[in-house]
Amino acid sequence: MNYDREGQPVAALVWFPVLAGEIAERIVWKHHLSRAIGKRAIVVGAGAGGIATAARLAKAGFSVTVLEKNSFTGGRCSLIFHEGHRFDQGPSLLLLPKLFQEAFRDLDTSLEAEGVELLRCPTNYKVWFADGESFELSTDLARMKTQIERWEGKDGFHRYLDWLREAHQHYELSVSEVLHRNFTSFWNLIVPHFVLTGLKLHPLHRVWGRAQKYFWTERLRRVFTFATMYMGMSPFDAPATYSLLQYTELAEGIWYPRGGFHAVLAALVRVGERLGVEYRLNTPVRQVLVSPDGKKARGVQLEAGEILEADVVVVNADLVYAYSNLFPQTPKMQSYGKSLRKKDGSCSSISFYWSLDRTVPELQTHNIFLADEYRESFDAIFDRQSLPKEPSFYVNVPSRIDASAAPEGRDSVVVLVPVGHLPESKGFSEPKSAGMPRDQDWPALVDRARRAVLSTVSARTGCESLDKFITHEIINDPAAWEDKFNLDKGSILGLGHGFFNVLAFRPATRAKGLANAYLVGASTHPGTGVPIALAGAKITAEQILDDLGVMVPWQGNAAVDLDMDRGVPQNEKTNPLDRIQPGVSQVPALRVVLYIYVLVSMLWILWYWYPMRKTLLVSGA
């Protein structure tokens, strides 16, 4: 007897239509593929979104060229090297590992097959407080229990589990309903299914507000809210949905690719090149060229003057910058560009990359130093766009998890001090209320940030002041972020992620007014972060293929979480040990019977008890 994929028996005769179906499917696939063959796609920018879109389009049959202004790939997710020290220029926390696996799986490969080794950080973070206390966030439930009970007692741990359950819901619903969907119009938001889902995501609550419900000490509220900074947002403003970020760390861990975060993107570049993608580095694009009627993109012009024709143009450069600089400046485009420049941007940073001549064992891989004036430290950044008097900051020691990040006996240290973004976009002098003025004394400001970091680190960890051991320093300030990667106002995480900047309110993946130009990356759908940009690449690539009637090669692959985690298939071949047998209250029919039983019992009690009570009252008993 033969069995199908679900384990059902299939008689030999049944094979014929199955085979015929597969042959027909292949013919249709070839037909659709032929629509892509010979089509030329240009991708502007080799950031996470650009690299992944290029590989996906090549897989679908396009001939793809990626044009990157810098001499390296990865954009923000790139590396800095100095005399044996290696630093992650931007991302250092690999979260949502399944979205990475999905990107590789859709390209018929895997992280392992491409030689990417993910190292699991033994502790997620050490959070250092000014009063000398600390908290180690971890996937280890026993460690979490001990620490939470220390501060909030037994009930505290109970409430932590409740918070985790809510954050789990935010995570699962976001992955299935948001990260894999393109929101092309406002109507996508008001379908009943999405409205119901939306309510469960608590988008109108704030991360801080929900944390107040579950954590009753200020200390734990801080511990479980600072992660909104990954989106460049204050926990006092960020929609409560984003508790999913800390949930993924606690449930799935924080990972680090051996060789640096860029190792993942380098592998995707190799996969793309195998599929035929051509990378042209040191190749800045000046503008997207359009057809005479202005309705279609016909290619791009490089800064060097060369013109490249294409059937499809995908812009991975920062979206706000692109609308003001790369797309043709028609009056409509100008006014759209202006409206984008006014939208809330994420924060910027003063980032230090320090080579140390010794190790600092007091520091773990990921360290968070929270300002005592917690709320004020966010308000200074997000309301006044400045450097807080007492900044909160993040210290990453890649050499703690991966020895290849520094020469033996030394450490490489990255410090990220979040600050406000620049007041106006480069080349535009628009009156903007707040921002870090371009003409301020930057060396003095950087010096203030450095001094705050050095004194806080030694005061809280007990290590000697790091400045004695720094042999070399590299700095990225907001202007450097803007220059290196064309990030509008130096906002390191792109457009903000407040309620009116996400879902259907986020700028679309199809360029305004241009039928065959698209966007991918942190400032379009679904949003910022390397895994999210990879999910965005899938959305944009599928939109392109759909527009051109080209079959999606990875169609039929379930989203990774469904694929990997749907449990043991349930059929007659399932081992009895693995048979799913819901508890009594989980079986709907039984539940209904139970409800009816309870209801009837209550009515029965009322029916008999009421006259009995009356009789008792009348008899004066």
Binding site for ligand FAD (CB under 6 A): 44-50, 67-70, 75-77, 90-93, 284-285, 316-318, 349, 351, 416, 485-486, 492-493, 521-522, 528-531, 533
CB-based burial of residue 619 (10 Å sphere; 0-12 exposed, 13-18 middle, 19+ buried)?
A: exposed
Q: Based on C-alpha coordinates, what's the Rg of the chain?
A: 28
By beta-carbon proximity to ligand FAD, the closer residue of 318 and 542 is 318
> Which of 487, 390, 384, 474 lies closest to 437 in space, CA to CA?
384
By beta-carbon proximity to ligand FAD, the closer residue of 503 and 530 is 530
By beta-carbon proximity to ligand FAD, the closer residue of 242 and 485 is 485
Give the tokens for residue 223: 């511990």
By beta-carbon proximity to ligand FAD, the closer residue of 93 and 207 is 93
By beta-carbon proximity to ligand FAD, the closer residue of 74 and 198 is 74
Min. distance of Cβ 368 from ligand FAD in angstroms? 12
Q: Using CA atoms, how far apart are residues 463 and 358, in angstroms rounded to an integer?
A: 12
CA distances from 603 to 590, 606, 610 (A): 20, 5, 10
Q: Using CA atoms, how far apart are residues 87 and 328, in angstroms rounded to an integer?
A: 37
Min. distance of Cβ 173 from ligand FAD in angstroms? 20
3-state helix, strand, coil in the chain (%, to 5): 45, 15, 40
* Residue in this structure with the two tokens 């954590």, named with its chain if needed: 215
Residues 6+ positions from 470 with CB-CB distance below 8 Å: 354, 355, 356
By beta-carbon proximity to ligand FAD, the closer residue of 148 and 480 is 480
By beta-carbon proximity to ligand FAD, the closer residue of 103 and 148 is 103
By beta-carbon proximity to ligand FAD, the closer residue of 61 and 527 is 527
Min. distance of Cβ 91 from ligand FAD in angstroms? 3
Residue type, 439: D
Min. distance of Cβ 439 from ligand FAD in angstroms? 23
E runs forming strands in 370-479: 393-396, 412-419, 470-476
Min. distance of Cβ 99 from ligand FAD in angstroms? 10
Q: Which helix (H) or strand (E) holds 312?
A: strand 312-315
Q: Using CA atoms, how far apart are residues 117 and 177, in angstroms rounded to an integer?
A: 29
Q: Using CA atoms, how far apart are residues 73 and 54, in angstroms rounded to an integer?
A: 13
Residue closest to ligand FAD, measured at CB: 47
Using alpha carbons only, what angle is made at residue 101 by residues 110 and 529, rounded to the nearest 5 degrees? 135
Min. distance of Cβ 303 from ligand FAD in angstroms? 8
Min. distance of Cβ 478 from ligand FAD in angstroms? 11
> Which of 544, 577, 588, 561 lies closest to 41 in space, CA to CA?
544
Min. distance of Cβ 88 from ligand FAD in angstroms? 8
Min. distance of Cβ 532 from ligand FAD in angstroms? 7
By beta-carbon proximity to ligand FAD, the closer residue of 246 and 486 is 486
DSSP-H helix ranges across 434-498: 442-461, 478-485
